[in-house]
Amino acid sequence: MPLEAGLLQILACPACHGALEEGSEELRCTAEGCRLVYPIRDGIPVLLVDEARRAD
């Protein structure tokens, strides 16, 4: 389920404040040193560092 238009423009990675890009049921931080992946559950981004995983 795609996020609402414009939402990605105001969201940022809580760990490094980098930009996020939408993937399949997840948001990925695009900052080179961070690369955390946050889940989207029931259409709601879970932007908690404890819930994130490192990108492969």
Q: Print pLDDT tens along the chain (56 aa).
A: 677 768 888 999 999 999 999 988 999 999 999 999 999 999 899 999 999 999 87
pTM given for the model: 0.88
- Look at residue 4 in the predicted model and tell me its pLDDT: 76
Residue tagged 């049921």 (tokens): 25
Residue tagged 């259409």 (tokens): 43
- Look at residue 26 in the predicted model and tell me its pLDDT: 95
Beta partners for residue 54, in sequence order: 36
Domains assigned to the chain: 7-54 (2.20.25.10)
- Look at residue 7 in the predicted model and tell me its pLDDT: 86
- Look at residue 49 in the predicted model and tell me its pLDDT: 97
